[in-house]
Amino acid sequence: MSGSSTHADRIATIRSVSARSGALVDPHTADGIHVGLAHREPGVPLICLETALPVKFAETIREALGAEPPRPAGFENLEALPQRCRVLDKDIGALMRYIAAAA
């Protein structure tokens, strides 16, 4: 099964899930729920696994619910922590060597 979900769909799904169950879902999970509900057979339960933490998408959660998503322990001040980035050439061999050296 495949389908699509717009930004408006995901906002509506986040709101709907929150209102119906009190659960907070991230935008990717909301997309999966939206598509799953559109394609499910009547009377068949839909099971959708969470794909990310809502806190990673705080701006979208604020837009949907008007509130800040809760931060799990250990995620406090996440934005203030140092970030590490390594730019590699577009070369699969370079990527494989980098992964092997880091493992």
For 21-67, the pLDDT digits (tens) are 999 999 999 999 999 999 999 999 999 999 899 998 999 999 999 99
| pTM of this structure | 0.76
Percentage of the chain modeled with pLDDT above 70: 100
Domain segments of the chain: what residues? 1-72
The pLDDT of residue 49 is 92
Which amino acid makes up residue 20? R
Which residue has 């408006």 as its token pair?
8
Cα-Cα-Cα-Cα dihedral sign, residues 76, 52, 7, 21: negative
The pLDDT of residue 76 is 82
Report helix, strand or coil for 87: coil
